[in-house]
Amino acid sequence: MADVTLRKVRKAFGDLEIIRGVDLEVKDREFVVFVGPSGCGKSTLLRLIAGLEDITSGELWIDGELVNDLPPAKRGIAMVFQSYALYPHMTVYENMAFGLRLAKMPQAEIEQRVKKAAQILQMDHLLQRKPAEMSGGQRQRVAIGRAIVRDPKVFLFDEPLSNLDAALRVAMRIELANLHNDLNATMIYVTHDQVEAMTLADKIVVLQAGEVEQIGSPLELYHHPQNIFVAGFIGSPKMNFVDTVVRKVEAAGITVDLPSGGTARIPVEPGPARVGDKVTLGIRPEHMLEGGSPEAQITGEVMVVERLGGHTFLYIKVGRDLVVTVQAGGESDAGIGDTISIGLPVGEAHLFDQNGHAFRRTQAPAIASRRKESFVRREAEYSARTH
């Protein structure tokens, strides 16, 4: 039973404002991921919640209690640091027991909690080791174990997987997702890796320069990015952006020029758009069709071909200074220097106005509004308990 609420939270270091008014509701048992480019203030925001930094202004509520002035140990949180931050001179057992001993917990209960956490994380055999005698993945487990034994209301993770190699990162990601289901705890997780964000989150908070760009479920952000920044940040490789001009405005959509001639009608709510407005057309590499399509297409010259086996990335030069990325099939036989046509399925396209705000898409797939199954279940439980 722990929700976290931020109201107009600001943080300045001297004159420099790093967090510029963040409003956020984290529901009980929700897995929320802060994502954004390096230096955007993700860690700072997490440290504000942890109590490792003072909040300059605004309110922070954890589990119905205003905690602005509470020290970290009294906030009911546990934090897992990027560099693990284990005490090097203590064994795994002592590392996990340290906080409990300080809280004057009876010895028997400490032992029971540490044993249980060790079981959950399958590291019973490591309890007498020191951090220096373990691998990165094992240390990361200990750091997570140290958080689990505290039985916190909220888990805070700051890029916990970024020091692991790629294979281990995937394995730990799955373990974390399972852990979240097993512990039924509220978790706030910071990462710059949008794959981690997409796979782990019930709700993603996209941050840029200390401000929230968008909050939503992973698929919501993917299908309905509210602005160019989110559109470019979520999805890999990055969405292609093409600057163009409005030719016709109808209820059924906005018709724009295409870079290699012709027009396309993008099915969006037209809003206040007017003919002649400058707009940006966005389309993801995985939605482009090698070989063209009858709806709309663009033509260009293949500059680079990257074959990944399962699929092929084509970098195509269109006109003078536009390069678009296309995800083609693994068997694509496009070669460098070829001139090819790329189909542009208008239903998959995004359109942004001059200020970078998205026009609401009208043909996005139904999946866009689907929530994570585990989240839906938890939410039902949550409302059953509160009513």
CA atoms of 220 and 212, how far apart (whole Å): 15
DSSP symbol at 235: S
- Closer to another protein by Cβ: residue 66 or 73: 73
Closest CB 164 distance from Mg ion, rounded Å: 16
CA atoms of 170 and 92, how far apart (whole Å): 24
DSSP symbol at 14: T
Specify whether the CB–CB gap between 250 and 240 falls below 8 A. Answer: no
- Closer to another protein by Cβ: residue 78 or 351: 78
Closest CB 73 distance from another protein, rounded Å: 3
Binding mask 38-77 for Mg ion (x = CB under 5 A): -----x----------------------------------
Specify whether the CB–CB gap between 219 and 364 falls below 8 A. Answer: no
Binding mask 246-265 for another protein (x = CB under 8 A): --------------------
| 346 touches, from ligand ADP, another protein, Mg ion, none (C-beta below 5 to 8 Å by class) | none
Specify whether the CB–CB gap between 290 and 334 falls below 8 A. Answer: yes
Q: Specify the 3-state DSSP secondary structure of 137.
A: helix
The alpha carbon of residue 305 and the mean position of all alpha carbons in its chain are separated, in whole angstroms, by 29
CA atoms of 164 and 249, how far apart (whole Å): 50
Sign of the CA dihedral running 373, 189, 179, 3 = negative
Beta-bridge mates of residue 19: 11
- Closer to ligand ADP by Cβ: residue 18 or 32: 18
Among 44, 217, 226, 244, binds ligand ADP (CB under 6 A): 44
| 74 touches, from Mg ion, ligand ADP, another protein, none (C-beta below 5 to 8 Å by class) | another protein
Distances (CA, A) of 50 to 104, 117, 195: 21, 22, 25
| 251 touches, from ligand ADP, another protein, Mg ion, none (C-beta below 5 to 8 Å by class) | none
Residue 258: Cβ within 10 Å count = 17
Distances (CA, A) of 122 to 126, 144, 147, 167, 179: 9, 12, 15, 18, 12
Q: Is 191 in the site for Mg ion (CB under 5 A)?
A: no
Residue 119: Cβ within 10 Å count = 11
- Closer to ligand ADP by Cβ: residue 15 or 331: 15
Binding mask 326-365 for another protein (x = CB under 8 A): ----------------------------------------
Q: Specify the 3-state DSSP secondary structure of 218.
A: helix
- Closer to ligand ADP by Cβ: residue 157 or 359: 157
CA atoms of 314 and 47, how far apart (whole Å): 41
Closest CB 207 distance from ligand ADP, rounded Å: 7
Site for another protein in 93-122 (CB under 8 A): 98-99, 102-103
Closest CB 42 distance from Mg ion, rounded Å: 5
Binding mask 2-21 for ligand ADP (x = CB under 6 A): -----------x----x---
- Closer to another protein by Cβ: residue 131 or 218: 131
Among 7, 21, 25, 52, binds another protein (CB under 8 A): 52
CA atoms of 80 and 96, how far apart (whole Å): 12
Q: Is 38 in the site for ligand ADP (CB under 6 A)?
A: yes
Q: Is 42 in the site for ligand ADP (CB under 6 A)?
A: yes
Binding site for another protein (CB under 8 A): 50-52, 71-74, 77-79, 81-89, 98-99, 102-103, 132, 146
Binding site for ligand ADP (CB under 6 A): 13, 18, 36, 38-44
Binding site for Mg ion (CB under 5 A): 43
